[in-house]
Amino acid sequence: MAGTCLKTILVICALVTIAAGGVGLYFTLTQLNGYKELWSQVNPDVDKYAMYSLCGFTGVTILTGLISLIGVLKRNRCLLLIFNILAIVLLGLFVAIGVFITIYTNNQFQDIKNITNCNNAPSDYNWLQQSNEFYQKVGILFCTQLCKCYVQNVQDFPPSTFDNKSVATIPSQGTTQIQVCPYAKQETQYDQYLSLVQFLENKFECSGICDPVPYYVFTDINRGPPTYTSGCKQRVQDFFEKYGNIVRVVAFSIGGFFFLQIILAIWLCCIKKSNGENDYYSRLAQY
């Protein structure tokens, strides 16, 4: 009876493992990979290796769940042995990932939080300094006589947004983003950060880095005022805090789940049968 109950629990655990691996793979491909532009600037190593590693870990998790499920249903001793080995390995790996993510994201969060002046950012955060200068030296030209901005609905913005600004009333007299202006094109030293600031404005719905800008500069100004008015530095800071917590919880949860399955396997192994059979795999095959 106890063996049958544990077998049922192991089947459920296998299905949950497969589902968890699938969710993890989806999250990695759609969410974290969606921030590729940010990772490439913040930490190229993360951009280059972490995504592939996470995909590999979640893929192995799905495979482990399938091996467990088939091993239990088919009563295959070899598959169950492989599952136990993989479960122990994955337990260690996911705990290690959880610890690494905790340390890494906390460091990134605290470092960015402690930067009060983007122009004096540490060398490790050169991307923050350079993108901030991009706004200060190039973005500042937007909505001036050097680069008039065309705004369809000025009333959508706070009343004082365009005070002392040069706003065009027809499309041919202005532009909707700074980088098409001739004066902006001359500042070629910031070209490598154009895709980053566009990403920040699109993905994080902010404008300006340390100093918020009340309208979009490098993407279509007619999208309306930025949703978040505290600047993109704050949004990046929030990103590390939010997704660091998510990945950490998921990693520790999956690791804990594998630990539970290992405990269940040990428990089943220790159950005495009336026929004196003590081998876990042999006894499981009888149920």
Q: Average pLDDT per run of 10 along the chain, which is 287 residues long?
A: 70 84 78 69 65 79 86 75 83 81 76 80 82 87 90 90 89 88 77 87 91 93 92 86 78 81 68 51 49
| Per-residue confidence (pLDDT) for residue 265, from 0 to 100 | 65
| Per-residue confidence (pLDDT) for residue 266, from 0 to 100 | 66
| Per-residue confidence (pLDDT) for residue 68, from 0 to 100 | 83
Q: Are 63 and 17 in contact (CB under 8 A)?
A: no
Q: How many whole angstroms separate alpha carbon 113 and alpha carbon 43?
A: 17
| Per-residue confidence (pLDDT) for residue 281, from 0 to 100 | 47
Which residues contact residue 85 at a Cβ distance below 8 angstroms, ignoring those fewer than 6 apart?
none
| Per-residue confidence (pLDDT) for residue 287, from 0 to 100 | 47
If 0-12 CB within 10 Å is exposed, 13-18 middle and 19+ buried, where does residue 30 land? Answer: exposed
| Per-residue confidence (pLDDT) for residue 124, from 0 to 100 | 77
HSE of 35, CA atoms in CB hemisphere, 13 A? 19
| Per-residue confidence (pLDDT) for residue 271, from 0 to 100 | 56
Which residues contact residue 79 at a Cβ distance below 8 angstroms, ignoring those fewer than 6 apart?
67, 68, 70, 71
| Per-residue confidence (pLDDT) for residue 217, from 0 to 100 | 93
| Per-residue confidence (pLDDT) for residue 9, from 0 to 100 | 80
| Per-residue confidence (pLDDT) for residue 200, from 0 to 100 | 92
Amino acid at 116: T
How far is the CA of 78 from the CAs of 74, 83, 86, 257, in angstroms? 11, 9, 12, 22
